[in-house]
Amino acid sequence: MIFQIYSGAMRLASPVLDHLLRRRLARGKEDPARISERRGQASLARPEGQLFWVHGASVGECQTALALIERLLDRDPALNVLLTSGTLTSAKLMADRLPARAMHQFVPLDHPAWISAFLDHWRPDAAIFVESDLWPNLVLAAARRSIPLILANARMSEGSFERWRRLSFFTGRLFADFSLILASNPVQKAGFESLTRAPVQYVGNLKRAAAPLATDAEKLAVLREAVGKRPVFLAASTHAGEEDAAAEAHRIAAAARPDLLTLVAPRHPNRGAEIAALLKGQGLHCARRSLDALPTPETEIYIADTLGEMGTLFELSDAVFVGGSLIPVGGHNPLEPAHFAKPVLFGQLMAKNADIASDMIEARAALEIADAKDLGKRLRDLLQNDAQRAELGANAKTFAEGQGAIADEMSARICAAVAAHGERK
């Protein structure tokens, strides 16, 4: 009954949803050329043959999904994959990173008619949701069409688990038709088992299997010429408050290495002007990449407020701080810089990647720092000790490269679940 009420409410909310899309369009949060996709109207033709639909909410989920998509395509040369997400940033990044036989569309809003139009066009042979971005009409409409449902790398916060347990009448129905739930760690496995009788398994955290981010050789060469022999420190995927920490760390390390160049790559590049004003107010000489500036010998902080260049920045750097870890965001993926054999540093607030962070620390593949001062001291020591820096970077790369088997096993279990679903039909 509750889903019927929800579905009816969403039908009545058509004017509200249209207004929401117009507002998002005006604020630059939607692609005007592809806005119809948010109403379920495809802008690409469906390829012939079997098609798996993979959905991730935004950048993080889509990047996590890439390794799985690649393994699925490798297993079946006739398979095609549709990846959906809900943000402009993820769409732009995936445009450059998706392999052959994979395509991207924006996910429709959870209006029953828009969901039906989406499913009518794409007719997916499987629906794979990455992490936890589940919308009732989207899930239940796919289930009614007997499309096998998979939740891959499933995770929720403990608070979310508790809220979902209190709504067991809702949760039980939403998860009832899932053919397989692949939890991101054993704790998550137990959490999902408390919510549903659907099969829950654990093979590892898919984030561990992500391929290295792409680098642009031409852009890297230009940056290296501009930087010269200066040591480079990258504060990657920072959030408000962490740019101050990067600046303090820069000042501490620069006392020993006055030629230090610090790169700040904010998680949200539209904060570039705000960050520049903040750091210039602290007396630091800054330049912004989005304004086509290159670092000069006078540049202390280079603000990389662009999209799709993180791999190039990792390759350029001598040490990397992973953002979202000094403020309560949960920390971003520390394996991304590890693939580039760089010393990896992060704060203590790594809840979203806690298992990866703890394993990297144990493997001497990363350093946990307490605060901005600690970051500065660790950075200073690394820049003064080439052997330690090389060892930490080598350990990080070895650790990262050893995680690929997770995606192999996950793709195998998904294909088995899809095949079993077909046999039950």
Q: Across the chain, which distance is largest between two alpha carbons, in Å? A: 69
Torsion of CA 179, 184, 188, 190, to 10 degrees: 60
Catalytic residue check, 362: no
Instruction: Collapse the DSSP code of 295 into the 3-class scheme (helix H, G, I; strand E, B; otherwise coil) and give the result.
Output: coil
- In angstroms, rounded to a whole number, what is the distance separating the alpha carbons of residues 204 and 72? 17
Nearest to 106 by CA among 130, 89, 120, 123: 89
Q: Distance from first CA to last CA of the chain, Å, rounded?
A: 26
**Which residue of the set 30, 37, 48, 61 is catalytic?**
61
Nearest alpha-carbon partner for 109 in 31, 3, 35, 23: 35
User: Do strands 51-55 and 200-202 pair parallel, antiparallel, or not at all (unpaired)?
Assistant: unpaired
Asked if 171 and 164 touch (Cβ cutoff 8 Å), the reply is yes
Rg (CA), the chain: 23
CA distance 346 to 358: 11
Q: Does an H or E element contain 112, and which?
A: helix 112-122
Are the C-beta atoms of residues 406 and 335 closer than 8 Å to each other? no
DSSP 315-383: HH-SEEEESSTTTTT----THHHHTTT--EEE-S--GGGHHHHHHHHHTTS-EE--SHHHHHHHHHHHH
Give, in degrees to the nearest 5, the angle at Cα 336 between 297 and 321.
50
**HSE of 73 in the Cβ direction (CA atoms, 13 Å)?**
18
**Cα(53)–Cα(43) distance, integer angstroms:** 15
- List Cβ neighbours of 180 (8 Å cut-off, separation of 6 or more): 150, 151, 198, 199, 201, 413, 414, 417
Say how far apart CA 99 and CA 310 lie, in whole Å. 19
Instruction: Please identify which residue in the block is written with the tokens 């012939």.
Output: 48
The catalytic site residues sit at: 61
